[in-house]
Amino acid sequence: MAVPIEMPQLGESVVKGAIIRWLKEPGDAVNEYDPLVEVETDKVVTEVTARQSGVLLRIVVPAGETAQVGAILAYLGESEDEAIPEQTSAEVSSSMPAPASTISRLEPATPAAAKPARFSPVVLRIAAEHDVPLVELQAIKGQGKAGRVRKRDFLAYLETRPSSPSAEAPEPLPEPAQEPLEPGAAVELSPMRAAIAEHMLRSVQTSPHVTSIFEVDMSRVAAYRQAHRQAFERQGFSLGYTAFFVQAAVETLRGYPLANASIKDGRLMLHSDINIGLAVAVAGGLLVPVIKQAQALSLAGLVRAIDALAGRARTRQLTPDEVQGGTFTVTNPGMQGALLGTAIIHQPQAAILGVGAIVKRPVVIDDAIAIRPMVYLCLTYDHRIMDGFGANQVLGKMKDYLESYS
């Protein structure tokens, strides 16, 4: 009997996904857990795998189209001779053409263009457990189709991996590519942009947004970073400022559980774990991978987690689990030079921290003018959960933590 392959739920708020490409063709033999199709949502690019062995009978939603969660993507049977179900009106209504800009983006520029190595979610998870940075992972030669790095390839690499990673710092990741826009043109929203628009509109309609802004002296953090950055580089990691802001948020949220809460079914939920979402700019939008149980990580652990998650976000290799479960979000518009930015809350969280650019400027200290690296921290919070007094306490604690960093 033919078994339908359905579009899975790939995130807390994901309702549809775009089919990038099919990895199997009708008539191909399929083993259980074989990847069948690549799917893109506003959060991840991931694979839908087979739940049983058999033969791919028919593809219902071709590459370049989108489908709702639960829609039938294809049918899998025990043999090629098995009866193929006729396409129903429900199948037709559950899928829809993707915007033209998305379809053109999914097609390679040239048929012979080389494709980068790709990694299964299992490989990415094991790599994170062994602290293998993305730059090292990309150097592994896969024996799978089109150079795919399989689990067995990665485990074989681990057996021959040097005891200490390369001392070379990872190459900087490329800036997100921007599609050329012509003035006066009408451009369809990509699936990612459309989903972001929907989420942001729902957030401002759900939560009354209020923002508090504090100014912080980063002198002690800057001194610590300068003293220890080479030690991190010898381990293959770059010690950026983002890790310090995430660490400050974690240490603060330990004592202010309202900022690490959410509202569900009319009840206030205080979360025991601190799961920090980190906004990462990618081509065409923004992804928010989540550092799970950040309260259990040291500064070095946070640096490794940020490096791994941001790298996978920019190469569109995040797994669905890595973009779910956040309880607080940090976004850093200062990386592009913005002095400050008031962000929109990532639902259903209580607050989001916006970090501005670190700029040296004159400040008055003990009635004397000094030049210090200063930064604005902007906490946007849900006024249903927190009041200004509590939000200012949260920012005040972050300020004290950073200005007395040791």
Residue 61 phi, psi (nearest 5): -110, 110
Answer whether 189's CB lies under 8 Å from 355's CB: no
Whole-number Å distance between alpha carbons of 22 and 36: 6
Q: What percent of the chain has pLDDT over 90?
A: 43
User: Would residue 134 count as lying in a domain?
Assistant: yes
Cα angle at 280 between 122 and 276, to 5 degrees? Answer: 75
Confidence grade of residue 121 (pLDDT, cut at 50, 70, 90): low
**Token match 């990532």: residue?**
346
Last residue of a domain, one of 106, 139, 168: 106
Whole-number Å distance between alpha carbons of 384 and 323: 25
Q: Same domain for 128 and 243?
A: no
User: Would residue 111 count as lying in a domain?
Assistant: no
Whole-number Å distance between alpha carbons of 233 and 62: 45
Residue at 404: amino acid letter: S
Whole-number Å distance between alpha carbons of 199 and 136: 35
Whole-number Å distance between alpha carbons of 87 and 222: 62
Q: Same domain for 207 and 294?
A: yes
Please tell me which residue, 190 or 389, carries the higher pLDDT value. Answer: 389
Q: Same domain for 287 and 328?
A: yes
Q: What is the model's pTM?
A: 0.66
Assign residue 316 the CATH number of its domain. Answer: 3.30.559.10
Q: Same domain for 85 and 136?
A: no
Assign residue 135 the CATH number of its domain. Answer: 4.10.320
DSSP string across 38-76: EEE-SS-EEEEE-SS-EEEEEESS-TTEEEETT-EEEEE
Radius of gyration of the chain (CA): 23
Assign residue 76 the CATH number of its domain. Answer: 2.40.50.100
Whole-number Å distance between alpha carbons of 47 and 319: 9
Last residue of a domain, one of 42, 75, 106: 106
Q: How many CB atoms are located within 10 Å of the residue 224 CB?
A: 16
List residues with catalytic annotation.
383, 387
pLDDT at residue 79 is higher than 90: no
Whole-number Å distance between alpha carbons of 208 and 263: 13
**CB under 8 Å to 240, separation ≥6 — which residues?**
303, 306
Residue 3 is predicted with a pLDDT of 85
Whole-number Å distance between alpha carbons of 75 and 97: 20
Residue 87 is predicted with a pLDDT of 57
User: Would residue 89 count as lying in a domain?
Assistant: yes
20-72 pLDDT, tens digit per residue, is 889 888 888 888 878 888 887 766 777 788 888 888 888 999 988 888 888 89
Residue 230 is predicted with a pLDDT of 92
User: Would residue 166 count as lying in a domain?
Assistant: no
Q: Same domain for 297 and 351?
A: yes
Last residue of a domain, one of 76, 106, 136: 106
Residue 160 is predicted with a pLDDT of 76
User: Would residue 233 count as lying in a domain?
Assistant: yes
User: Would residue 180 count as lying in a domain?
Assistant: no
Q: What percent of the chain has pLDDT over 70?
A: 78
pLDDT at residue 105 is higher than 70: no
Which of 81-95, 270-284, 302-316, 324-338 has the least mean pLDDT? Answer: 81-95
Answer whether 321's CB lies under 8 Å from 331's CB: no
Average pLDDT over the chain reads 81
Please tell me which residue, 231 or 144, carries the higher pLDDT value. Answer: 231
Residue 83 is predicted with a pLDDT of 58
Average pLDDT for 334-357: 94
Q: Same domain for 233 and 371?
A: yes
Residue 37 gets which letter from DSSP?
E
309-321 pLDDT, tens digit per residue, is 998 888 877 888 8
Q: Same domain for 213 and 282?
A: yes
pLDDT at residue 237 is higher than 80: yes
User: Would residue 176 count as lying in a domain?
Assistant: no
* Tally of domains in the chain: 3
Q: Same domain for 342 and 390?
A: yes
Whole-number Å distance between alpha carbons of 48 and 22: 10
Boundaries of domain holding 230? 192-403
pLDDT at residue 85 is higher than 50: yes
Q: Same domain for 267 and 386?
A: yes
Q: Same domain for 84 and 209?
A: no
Q: Same domain for 35 and 73?
A: yes
Question: How far from 22 is each of 75, 77, 89, 208, 359, CA to CA, in Å?
Answer: 13, 17, 22, 43, 48
Whole-number Å distance between alpha carbons of 9 and 69: 6
Q: Same domain for 349 and 395?
A: yes
Confidence grade of residue 134 (pLDDT, cut at 50, 70, 90): low
Average pLDDT for 13-19: 75
pLDDT at residue 82 is higher than 70: no
pLDDT at residue 93 is higher than 60: no
User: Would residue 135 count as lying in a domain?
Assistant: yes
